[in-house]
Amino acid sequence: MGGNTAIERLQRLIRIPTVSRADPDETDPQPFLDFAVELERSFPLLHAHLEKTAIREHGMLFHWRGRSSERPVVLMAHIDVVPVQETDTWQHPAFGAEIVDGVLWGRGTLDDKGCLTGICEAVEHLLERNFTPAQDVWLSFGCDEEVMGQAAPEAVDALTERGVEPWFVLDEGGAVAYDAFPGVKQPLAVVGVTEKGITNVQLRVDGRGGHASMPTKMDTTARIARAITRLDANPFPSSVPSPTIEMFQRLAPHLPLPLRPLVKNVDRLKPALARILVAAGPESAAMTRTTAVVTTLSGSPANNVIASRATAGINVRIMIGDTVNGVVERIRKVINDKRVQVEVIDSNEPSPLSPTDDDAFRLIESAVHEIFPDAVPTPYVMMGATDARFFTRICPRVYRFAPFRMTREQRESLHSFDERIGVEDYLEGVEFYRRLLETVA
């Protein structure tokens, strides 16, 4: 398949605004229907040779029969994207899929149509060569990942009904990341071996309210504000989980000289390493601790009314080793105000840890070495959430890696504006998937 043709296919799919929303009634189904039609038009061999099962409204599960069904492999991605905010200042239209100076701009290029289309490109290319994989391959494409929907759990149910127990699962997650750690020049091919649990908590204060001309001390909004500042002033304690320790052990030859002794004695010097990670910036600091951040606020509906109820929504990302109950109890303790009600809206524990001393992980490493020879492959704790967390129910080897080179600016564009991928970087990612499928055995 020619590079230009592959890019054109990705462009056509990026231009379809498959935006999912938390309220299913607010999600426009037409783009998802258009996406399915365009995907079949773009990859006819995949649709002709793989058995397709519809999952939920717009999800897809494809079965590619291999020479053996004993150790099946699942490759994952998702169709949906987050909305484009009116206040976002895109340099190029979010759904324009414009190519400027060798870079393809658009919502979904990195999260996650790049992965989805890259997988399909690799499969189509191999089918053109009459290739049959050594083991069964399943492609699971979710339609509501961005809103923590039910397509992925239903895909797991469908595999369970068929008696499928995957050898390993690979979803989006890490990347070939530049500027991932101060002083390290080489890009890091970070492969998520676990992901933080997500819990949403609501703080609520009820009161009488009243006219703004007669305020009372410590009313509902003031009490909520105090609770927020107490949380902000008391972050969760930092620690260094085992994937982070292994990451630094792998990085040791590439670290600045002053840090190498620290890595050699990492078990004894964990507190010092944790402090360094916290000081290095928010991306590395999030690798060391559970985080809690206020994302929503509500109070009075009018400027001249004191709120009778004030609320704050807190998004909590729970580090491996912590629990939902322990985190919620700590939030209550830090706020230290019985008038502030703490309610768990939804919760997920951290995902189980997938092995790195294992043939499945080594297979991913091997493909990284071949396609990205300058990168250092390493496990890490993924801070975001993926559909992969549901697959831990049926598979002990669940990994998270998007095979694309990403600068820090590109990583910051996820769920923001100016999301983009280099044309050559995308084609490298296609080669990664192709090589992975060729070497599965």
Collapsing DSSP to helix, strand or coil, 195 comes out as strand
| 2 Cβ contact partners less than 8 Å away, ≥ 6 residues apart | none
Check if the beta carbon of residue 294 is closer than 8 Å to that of residue 313: yes
Catalytic residue among 80, 111, 136, 219: 80
Q: Which of 200, 194, 198, 222 is nearest to 209 (CA)?
A: 222
What's the CA gap between 214 and 253, in Å, rounded?
Answer: 65
Q: 137 Cβ partners below 8 Å, 6+ apart?
A: 63, 64, 66, 72, 73, 74, 75, 123, 437, 440
424 noted as active-site residue: no
Contact 171, 398 (CB under 8 A): yes
Which single residue is written with the structure tokens 């414009």? Answer: 98
- List Cα–Cα distances, 23 to 27, 125, 129, 148, 172, in angstroms: 7, 38, 43, 11, 24
CA separation for the pair 107, 128 (Å, rounded): 30
Q: How far apart are CA 19 and CA 197, in angstroms?
A: 24
Q: Which of 111, 124, 144, 145 is catalytic?
A: 145
The number of residues in the chain equals 441
Long-range CB pairs of 216-225, under 8 A, 24+ apart, other chains included: 216/306, 219/306, 219/307, 220/299, 220/306, 220/307, 220/308, 220/309, 220/310, 221/299, 221/300, 221/306, 221/307, 221/310, 223/310, 223/337, 223/339, 223/340, 224/297, 224/299, 224/310, 224/311, 224/312, 224/340
Range list of H helices, 166-307: 220-233, 242-251, 260-264, 270-279, 282-285
* 145 is a catalytic site residue: yes
Enumerate residues 6+ apart whose C-beta is below 8 A from 6: 121, 426, 427, 430
Residues marked as catalytic: 80, 145
